[in-house]
Amino acid sequence: MLAYIIRRVFQSLLVLLVVGLVAFSLFRYVGDPIDSLLGQERTIADIDRVRESLGLNDPFVVQYYNFLANAVQGDFGISYRQSRPVAEIIAERAPATLELAAVSALFAIGLGIALGVFTAIRRRGIAANVIMSASLIGVSLPTFLIGILLIYVFSVELDWLPSFGRGQVTDLGWWTTGLLTASGREAIILPAITLGLYQMTLIMRLVRSEMLEVLRQDYIRFARARGLRERAINFRHALKNTLVPVITVTGLQLGAIIAFAIITETVFQWPGVGLLFINAIQFVDIPVMAAYLMLISVMFVGINLIVDLLYFAVDPRLRIEGRNT
């Protein structure tokens, strides 16, 4: 077990080092930093001095090490476009993305489990079949079209909800939140649904198929024979046993939510990290791109590691297998 954990942690670090290498070569070899720092009138002595002071004459490995050391301390350099430290811009934008991701994850998990249980219990009902067919359409629609469709229905035609931005934002010092004001809460509804819809259908279908599997088991039949109430059987006995795969899938989908936030944020002009990243690609703002690359990899590798380890903790069978290998 310990050997497995060490091996997984080691692998994760290796992945991060490789991603760091990509980010670093982008940072180091795209454009000439000397050009952007010194103007047209410069002497060779000037160039040499700046090269030396920036450490550009150091061996590759030393430069890479310095880059990583700075990145670990949260220093990603200065944005070409906004002329401000990248870390500052990201820290300013992160609450918007995290809030959006959290709300849509809640939406996906809550509604996904509820609908999954419902469609499993009322398997032959009309409502369940309608929901299942609708979910198929939902899966095949591209995220950005879902967003546009929601904007069209709820902002253009019905004029109920805002189509862009975060609404009124409250500043809590190190965190800005839109959830405390009415306009902020209204603004988050459409983006959160757009972002969470795919995960919602995924969780719903997973819960449904797991529930159908579990409901067929002997202990459910035995619980029925004991005369337990239907609700107790469904929720206390069946749903509980479907949750292990749901936890893993949800954990892994958390990464996908962060990734698809880029699309949602662009559709709704949500001032988060994803929109920042897309703008950075459009205007080739290398420091921002490199920083986002590093951050998102840390997040993904971390989530995967945690899910893997969680699996170990939740499922005792894996632990026995792990001991044999």
Partner 1 sequence: MTDKTSDLPQPAAVQRPSRFKELWEADLVYNLRRSPVALVSLIVTLILILAAVLAPLIAPTNPFDPASLNLMNGFSPPGVPNAFTGETFLMGTDDQGRDVFSTILYGMRISLFVGVSAVIFAMVLGITLGLIAGYVGGWIETIIMRIADVQLTFPSILVAMLITGVAKGFTPPAYRDEVAIFVLILAIGLSDWVQFARVVRGATLVEKNKEYVQAARLIGRSGGGIMLRHILPNVLSPVLVIATISLALAIIAEATLSFLGVGAPPTQPSLGTLIRIGQGFLFSGEWWILFFPAVTLLGLALAVNLLGDWLRDALNPRLR
Instruction: By CB under 8 A, name the binding residues for partner 1.
Output: 15, 22, 26, 29-30, 140-145, 148, 151-152, 156, 163, 255-256, 259-260, 262-263, 266-267, 277-278, 280-282, 284, 286, 289, 293, 296, 300-301, 304
The minimum distance between CB 112 and partner 1, in angstroms, equals 18
Q: Which is nearer to partner 1, 136 or 179 (CB)?
A: 136
Q: Which amino acid is at 232?
A: A
45: exposed, middle or buried (Cβ count in 10 Å: 0-12, 13-18, 19+): exposed
H or E segment at 170?
strand 170-171
Token code pair at residue 109: 């998990």
Q: How far is the CB of 145 from partner 1 (least distance, A)?
A: 6
Which residue's CB is nearer to partner 1, number 118 or number 300?
Answer: 300
* 259: Cα separation from own chain's centroid: 5
Instruction: Please state the separation of Cα 20 from the chain's center in Å.
Output: 19
Pull the structure tokens for residue 7: 């091996």
Return phi, psi of residue 163, to 5°: -105, -10
Q: Smallest distance from the beta carbon of 10 to partner 1, in angstroms?
A: 12
Shortest Å distance, C-beta 244 to partner 1:
20
Whether 242 and 214 have beta carbons less than 8 Å apart is answered as yes
Find the Cα–Cα–Cα–Cα dihedral 110, 115, 118, 123, rounded to 10°.
Answer: -150
Nearer to partner 1, 220 or 308 (CB): 308
CA distance 184 to 171: 12
Q: Is 3 or 22 the residue whose CB approaches partner 1 more closely? A: 22
Candidates 290, 315, 276, 282; CA nearest to 64 is 290
Q: Least distance to partner 1 from the beta carbon of 119, Å?
A: 21
In the complex with partner 1, the residue whose CB is nearer, 127 or 284, is 284
Pick 200 or 214: Cβ nearer partner 1: 200
> Least distance in Å: CB of 204 to partner 1?
20
As measured in angstroms, the least distance from the Cβ of 255 to partner 1 is 7
148-165 per-residue burial string, b: 16 or more CB within 10 A, e: under 16:
eebbeebbeeeeebbbeb
Nearest CB to partner 1, comparing residues 141 and 180: 141
